[in-house]
Chain A
Amino acid sequence: MSAITHKEPNYMGVFWWLLVLTVLEIAVIYMPIAKMAIAILLVSMAISKASLVALYFMHLKFERLTLGLVALSPFLLCLFLILMLTPDIFPH
């Protein structure tokens, strides 16, 4: 089992990062900056938080490439979905 063949991650460290990013997310929505900048910051922080959970809590960082590819496959589908729907999002 991979979970017992690698050194245990610093789970509390990951927790504090998740907490700080959540607080920052809430702070960002009240910042007097452009809407687009807020959206970019929020999405970046959400992806960072999701990555922390996947990499450390789900141990993806210590797994083989096979599982990494399985985990990435839904994102490819979402990207495909967005591309296919682009004509509807931005009509001529």
Chain B
Amino acid sequence: MSEAAVMHAGAEPQESPLTPENWGKLGMWLFLAGDAMSFGCLIVGYGILRHASSNWPVPREVLGINLTAFMTFLLIISSVTMVLSLSAIQNGDRRKFQKFLGLTILGGLIFLGCQAYEWTHLITHRLPEVGLSFSTHLFATTFFILTGFHGMHVTGGVIYNTCVLAAVSRGRYGAKHVEIAGLYWHFVDLVWILIFTFVYLL
């Protein structure tokens, strides 16, 4: 093999000037940008429908905020454990990584449990009490669509993180994959922060 060929074989692959970051991360960011547009349209749509309505209820009086504040706290905590799991795998500490990513998954599962409880309580008790339902008032329609769309993302995130945990534990995935999964999970947290403010508090 010539010297040039040896040098070429040992060199880092040339990256496109348009994508200086690694492809997986750029791909995830592009997906998240598209996903953010979906959430953005839903939140803007919610705001416009609310503004146009003359009998929109005060959300926090119908929904309550105690459970949701706890759910917000839970997602923030799970974001912290996610970055700590990334930090652990970057430092080669696989045991710590498994512990923190396991806690992240657990946080997501508890969040989903709380959301299931909240939905059940709203559908069976609270909404009938105030004379609202999914099909009779846009407040309930937009609420279930927005929080349901987010809940689907949390479900996807829990499955995704579980797959990453299994793959890293088997040695098939590394820190790069954890960082990409982390981007998705933090995005889910970020969107919830906005939903909590715009749908529950405002």
Apart from A29-B65, A50-B193: 4 A-B pairs, beta carbons within 8 A: A1-B25, A1-B176, A46-B193, A57-B79
Partner among B22, B52, B186 whose Cβ is within 8 Å of the Cβ of A58: B186
* CB of A86, distance to nearest CB on chain B (Å): 10
Interface residue range, chain A: 35 or more
Contact B80–A11 (Cβ < 8 Å)? yes
Which segment of B28-36, B112-120, B140-148 sits at the interface?
B28-36
- Measured CA separation A92–B165 after assembly (Å): 56
A1-24 contacts to B, CB under 8 A, are 1-4, 8, 11-12, 14-15, 18-19, 22
B87 cross-chain contacts in A, Cβ below 8 A: 8, 11
B60 at the interface (CB under 8 A from A): yes
Contact A2–B21 (Cβ < 8 Å)? yes
**0/1 interface trace, chain A 35-77, chain B, CB 8 Å (1 if under):** 0000100110110011001100111000110110011011101
Consensus secondary structure, chain A interface? helix
Chain B interface residues toward A at CB < 8 A: 18-22, 25-26, 29-30, 32-34, 36-37, 39-41, 43-44, 48, 51-52, 60, 65, 69, 72-73, 76-77, 79-80, 82-84, 86-87, 90, 175-176, 179, 182-183, 186-187, 189-190, 193-194, 196-198, 201-202
**Residue among B19, B60, B183 with the most chain A CB within 10 A?**
B183
Consensus secondary structure, chain B interface? helix
A31 cross-chain contacts in B, Cβ below 8 A: none
Q: Which residue of B lies closest to A48 (CB)?
A: B193
B43 cross-chain contacts in A, Cβ below 8 A: 78
Q: Which residue of B lies closest to A29 (CB)?
A: B201
Number of cross-chain contacts by CB at 8 Å: 122
Contact A1–B175 (Cβ < 8 Å)? yes
Contact B189–A53 (Cβ < 8 Å)? yes
* CB of B76, distance to nearest CB on chain A (Å): 5
A88-B48 contact in complex given A49-B193, A54-B190, C-beta closer than 8 Å:
yes
A70-B29 contact in complex given A18-B76, A57-B186, C-beta closer than 8 Å:
yes
- Measured CA separation A74–B51 after assembly (Å): 22
* CB of A61, distance to nearest CB on chain B (Å): 13
A42-B202 contact in complex given A50-B193, A88-B52, C-beta closer than 8 Å:
yes
Contact B48–A46 (Cβ < 8 Å)? no
* CB of B83, distance to nearest CB on chain A (Å): 5
User: Can you sample 19 A-B contacts with CB below 8 Å?
Assistant: A3-B90, A8-B87, A22-B72, A22-B76, A26-B65, A26-B201, A42-B197, A43-B197, A46-B193, A57-B182, A58-B182, A64-B21, A67-B21, A67-B26, A73-B37, A74-B36, A77-B40, A85-B48, A89-B52
